[in-house]
Amino acid sequence: MDIRTGDIVTMKKQHPCGSKKWKILRIGADFRMECCGCGHTVMLPRAKAEKNIKSVERAEE
């Protein structure tokens, strides 16, 4: 899956704040993501994050 830093991803399940959109902050073995609704940041293992991503919106370059 081609995901870059700054992309906005839509996840299958929503965050408790109600938002399904997350901004990618760091990529590697883990993804560091920030919720677009409340600003909470989490780190997920790459395999789990890619499994739960529904769609990707490219960041403007």
Question: What's phi and psi for 27, nearest 5 deg?
Answer: -125, 140
* Structure confidence at residue 61 (pLDDT): 62
* Structure confidence at residue 59 (pLDDT): 75
* Structure confidence at residue 49 (pLDDT): 93
Q: How far apart are CA 29 and CA 21, in angstroms?
A: 21
Where do the DSSP E strands lie in the chain? Answer: 8-11, 21-26, 30-35, 41-45, 53-57
Domain ranges of the chain: 8-57
* Structure confidence at residue 2 (pLDDT): 87
pLDDT band at 4 (very low <50, low <70, confident <90, very high): very high
- pLDDT tens for 8-61 read 999 999 999 999 999 999 999 999 999 999 999 999 999 999 999 999 999 776
Residue 30: both structure tokens together = 């883990």
- Rounded to two decimals, the pTM is 0.89
